[in-house]
Amino acid sequence: MSEPRFAKLAHQLREATAGAAWIQWQALGGQAAAPRAPQAIVDPEALVLVSLWLVDHQPRVRDFVAGFAEVGSRLLSVQRLKRALQLFPSDSGERMAGFAAQVASHGKDPRWKLLAGDAETAAGRPGKVGPASTRLAEPGSLMLRLRTAFGVDVRTDTLAYLLGRRGAWADVKDIADSLLYAKYSVRLACEALADARFVTAGPDRPVRYYVEHRRWSTVLDLPDAPSWYPWVHVYSFGLRLEEWLRQPKLHGTSPALQASLAREFMIEHGRPLTQLQLEVPDHRDHLGEAYLPAFEAAVKMLASWIAEHA
In sequence order, which ranges of 165-287 are alpha helices (DSSP H)?
A: 172-179, 183-195, 213-219, 231-245, 255-269, 271-275
For residue 224, tell me if it sits in a domain. Answer: no
Give, for 9, the enclosing helix (H) or strand (E): helix 3-24
Would you put residue 296 in left (φ > 0), alpha (ψ -120 to 50) or beta? alpha
23 with 95, same domain: the answer is yes
For residue 225, tell me if it sits in a domain. Answer: no
For residue 302, tell me if it sits in a domain. Answer: yes
At which of 71, 100, 134 does a domain end?
134
What CA–CA distances, in Å, run from 210 to 167, 168, 172, 276? 6, 6, 11, 20
204 with 248, same domain: the answer is no
pLDDT at 263: 93
- Separation of alpha carbons 286 and 44, rounded Å: 38
How much of the chain exceeds pLDDT 70, in percent?
Answer: 95
At which of 134, 149, 173 does a domain end?
134
For residue 198, tell me if it sits in a domain. Answer: yes
123 with 166, same domain: the answer is no
Number of domains composing the chain: 3
For residue 226, tell me if it sits in a domain. Answer: no
| Mean confidence (pLDDT) of the chain | 89
For residue 101, tell me if it sits in a domain. Answer: yes
Residue-wise pLDDT for 110-164, tens only, equals: 778 888 877 776 666 656 677 777 788 889 999 999 999 999 999 999 999 999 9
| Domain assignment of residue 76, given as a range | 3-134
- Binned at pLDDT 50, 70 and 90, residue 223 comes out as confident
Give, for 14, the enclosing helix (H) or strand (E): helix 3-24
12 with 78, same domain: the answer is yes
126 with 10, same domain: the answer is yes
By 3-state DSSP, what share of the chain in percent is helix, strand and coil, each rounded to 5? 65, 5, 35
Kind of pairing, strands 208-210 and 200-201? antiparallel
248 with 297, same domain: the answer is yes
Would you put residue 36 in left (φ > 0), alpha (ψ -120 to 50) or beta? beta
210 with 109, same domain: the answer is no
Is there a contact between 123 and 63 (Cβ–Cβ < 8 Å)? no
Is there a contact between 184 and 158 (Cβ–Cβ < 8 Å)? no
Q: What is the mean pLDDT of residues 211-228?
A: 89
pLDDT at 186: 98
125 with 162, same domain: the answer is no
Residue-wise pLDDT for 10-47, tens only, equals: 999 999 999 999 999 888 887 777 788 898 999 999 99
Ramachandran angles phi, psi of 106, nearest 5°: -105, 0
At which of 102, 134, 166 does a domain end?
134
Residue-wise pLDDT for 57-103, tens only, equals: 877 888 888 888 877 788 999 999 999 999 998 888 888 988 888 88
206 with 283, same domain: the answer is no
For residue 127, tell me if it sits in a domain. Answer: yes
101 with 141, same domain: the answer is no
* CATH number, residue 192: 1.10.10.10
186 with 260, same domain: the answer is no
3-class secondary structure per residue, 64-130: HHHHHHHHCHHHCCHHHHHHHHCCCCCCHHHHHHHHHHHHHCCCCCHHHHHHHCCCCCCCCCCCCEC
For residue 180, tell me if it sits in a domain. Answer: yes
123 with 238, same domain: the answer is no
User: Among candidates 85, 248, 77, 50, which has minimal Cα distance to 154?
Assistant: 77
